[in-house]
Structure 1
């Protein structure tokens, strides 16, 4: 997959060249992973935007349905997908064809880092997909991948650079190993985990480190290692969302 030194220009090029744009959001935090400026640009250019709520297997059904209604009221088709469980792509293909201005259609994918763009591209490709450029008039630089006779995918997902790593690590958009101070977002996550299940989750990162036996010399809690461990588990979906109220509380904390 070809990389670029300027992600913003890459996203702009995808929106300009694609017939249909897929905006991939994290279903746990749709509002925090949206790209309204690019949604507006696509609208101005007359490009249909389909909202793909990835990681939908990690959220309560009520949460997903509420967000579907919100986004549909704004005029966006919405499709639930789980690239991990590999479901939702058939409906997505049907939705792409239903909004396509013409067939065959060229589809571009945009979104924040780690919301699941590359996984979605790989799932849509399937095992039999191969690079091709048979769309009449296609002269752009991006390579096209044939998804079906009627759908071609631009093999260059747009990646938006991050401006607030400590906050965005909680929405899975930044590697916690790269944070200088992962304790801050880890403490926020622990606070809401503890409020939902105080018997299972400690109240502080120090207590979590002791529970995991992450200790430095002299028995001092290794809070950095503990924070990275907790955040990594959260990003990988190993910490389940216990309830709709819990998810709303996390969302409210992140929006403060």
Structure 2
């Protein structure tokens, strides 16, 4: 399989933001923390000696003991901030990081990077909430990009980096691809259900009131029956059911998580 056409463009976005950033906030999805870490971003940052903080977003969707376990493991490499815009978790810790960065005797620019739908915008908006003052673009910033002043010498690059660099199928499983754009939504939903059955089968009962079966296809069919999604002959509409599952995963309606 060839890489998606956007691969090089997305990598150039990552490089561009990294080249302008002194510090990188890599935003990941706390439900699938290791799958939403981006090795390309981390390796590019390492090559350029950029400081990386991992912002573990959506921690309100996982148990505290799971979050602590992940944090402990990831902090062997990078500092980790547990975050949730919905529950206002992590704001004080972000403030402390900004305060520490402001003690450096230089101008510090922060870039926010991560997969689509991990919540980069919510992190950026929380940071912006500290001060609403914006500055005109500094030398080296392209037109249209803004720097948000977070402290006298700390600025946020107000351009979230959307990094894909993967196949649609892989992105869909990360909740980073719109289900309607998928050529084979049923196939992807089955892979997702398989993951859920392996790791947190009871979440399907919690979300849909169905007893999960061992076979992902039978589970999907059972779910379609429960939702009463049918095609003209009265058979279950698997395509519509698959998209529903994928959308619920994106929205955090399925309370599953794994390492």
TM-score class, shorter-chain normalisation, is 0.7 to 0.9
Any idea what the Cα deviations from partners look like across 1:166-211, whole Å, max 9, x if unmatched? 2321221111121121112322333435843675334321111111
Instruction: Verify: 1:92 aligned to 2:112, yes or no.
Output: no
2:112 aligned counterpart, secondary structure: strand
- Structure 1: any 5+ residue segments left out of the alignment? 242-246, 252-256
Instruction: Verify: 1:223 aligned to 2:242, yes or no.
Output: no
1:79 aligned counterpart, secondary structure: strand
Q: Is the 8 A contact 2:175 2:250 kept in 1?
A: yes
Q: Distance in 2 between matches of 1:103 and 1:226?
A: 53
2:162 aligned counterpart, secondary structure: coil
Q: Is the 8 A contact 1:170 1:235 kept in 2?
A: no
Equivalent residue for 2:82? 80
Instruction: Verify: 1:69 aligned to 2:72, yes or no.
Output: yes
Alignment of 1:1-16 (within 5 A): 6-16=9-19
Q: CA-atom RMSD, angstroms? A: 2.5
Equivalent residue for 2:224? 209
Alignment of 1:104-119 (within 5 A): 104-119=107-122
Q: Is the 8 A contact 2:220 2:238 kept in 1?
A: yes
- TM-score (norm: length of structure 1): 0.82
CA distance 1:52–1:183, change in 2 (3 Å): same
Q: Distance in 1 between matches of 2:92 and 2:203?
A: 37
Equivalent residue for 1:196? 202
Instruction: Verify: 1:50 aligned to 2:50, yes or no.
Output: no
Give the stretch that moved more between structures: 21-30 or 38-47.
38-47
Structure 1 position 162, deviation (Å): 4.4
CA distance 1:24–1:71, change in 2 (3 Å): same
Equivalent residue for 2:177? 174
Any idea what the Cα deviations from partners look like across 1:187-239, whole Å, max 9, x if unmatched? 23334358436753343211111110111112111111111111111211122
Q: Distance in 2 between matches of 1:197 and 1:125?
A: 35
Instruction: Verify: 1:140 aligned to 2:146, yes or no.
Output: no
Q: Distance in 2 between matches of 1:195 and 1:69?
A: 25
1:146 aligned counterpart, secondary structure: strand
Q: Distance in 1 between matches of 2:155 and 2:40?
A: 25
- Structure 2: any 5+ residue segments left out of the alignment? 1-7, 214-218
Equivalent residue for 1:244? none
Give the stretch that moved more between structures: 23-32 or 167-176.
167-176
- TM-score (norm: length of structure 2): 0.81
Any idea what the Cα deviations from partners look like across 1:13-43, whole Å, max 9, x if unmatched? 2111112110111111121111223212222
Q: Is the 8 A contact 1:10 1:158 kept in 2?
A: yes
Any idea what the Cα deviations from partners look like across 1:71-92, whole Å, max 9, x if unmatched? 1112x11100112323212211
Q: Distance in 2 between matches of 1:56 and 1:111?
A: 16
Alignment of 1:17-56 (within 5 A): 17-56=20-59
* Matched residue count: 237
Give the stretch that moved more between structures: 78-87 or 180-189.
180-189
